[in-house]
Amino acid sequence: MILRPAELFPALDIVPIYESLIVGALVCGHAGLKRHFQWRNLTQQPAMLYVVGVLIAIALSHLRRFYLHGVKEGSIDFLKVLLLFGLVVSQTDTVFRLKTLLAVIAVTATITVTMCVLDFYSFADFEFITHISDVDGLTDVNELRRVSRMRGTGIFQAPNDLSLLIVFAGAIWAPILWDRSLGPLRFVSLGPLVLLVTGLFYTKSRGGLLAAAGAFLPILLCQYGCKMAIVVGLMCLSACEPHRRTDAYVRSIRRYP
């Protein structure tokens, strides 16, 4: 889902890679998946029960308006998410499996962000990566201020979505840097973290910045205590840009120059 082979090699577009992997995962993990969806286990795992409840809520919301097509499409779309969530929960039942899953996510996300950064800097030209020019308020002379924003690939083409992937990958790499038991090997994570921070900066995503603060301040709190977390939090607040005019005002300027 993060680094799609068909995007790297267009010839693979006709190969049903994901369908085969999904069917294989369901066949191999059907026993654990079935066990987690039993009522006894659902009552012991509220998170799984809530996800099942979302599926029911989607169907009922469309059925309430007698929108049968919406019931079908919405239920099928979220059923895929439910099965994926169930597979992840049922298969990551050991610490080793959880670490392996996080490692795969961190590595593939870092590779994706690296490709996006290289394309953004014009060091490489990937056809499946395109960036956007977005409006970012007004200048002092009431002209639209435009900025280039980095986009990702596949389901992360929106800069805001890419920023969340960056934050999630950074939250995996950061504890490695702070793990002194690894010795000098822990500094290997500096490279990926620098790339991820660079990528986050060029997404120009305020939501991504808030997500990063929400993810890393608790880590700082656990590692270095309350004082360090407060100092870094105040530094982040002082670095915030001044208030800009709202998007609605920008649209009104566009309409009535």
State CA 185 to chain mean position distance.
Answer: 27
Structure tokens at 80: 């895929």
Give the pLDDT of residue 138: 65
With 50 as the cut, is the pLDDT of residue 245 above it? Answer: no
Quote the pTM value: 0.76
Is pLDDT above 90 for 169?
yes
| Chain segment 4-62, per-residue pLDDT in tens | 787 777 778 788 887 788 888 888 888 888 888 888 888 887 888 888 889 999 999 98
**What pLDDT is attached to residue 236?**
66
Identify the residue with better confidence: 234 or 247.
234
Higher pLDDT pick, 241 / 213: 213
Q: Going by C-beta distance under 8 Å and a sequence separation of 6 or more, which residues neighbour residue 84?
A: none
Beta carbons of 168 and 196 less than 8 angstroms apart? no
Residue 255 has pLDDT above 70, yes or no: no
Mean pLDDT, to the nearest integer, of 84-109? 89
Confidence band (pLDDT; 50, 70, 90) for 237?
A: low
pLDDT digits (tens, 9 = 90+) for 176-193: 888 888 888 888 889 999
- 219 vs 114 pLDDT, higher one: 114
**pLDDT score of 243 more than 50:** no
The answer to whether 106 touches 173, Cβ cutoff 8 Å, is: yes
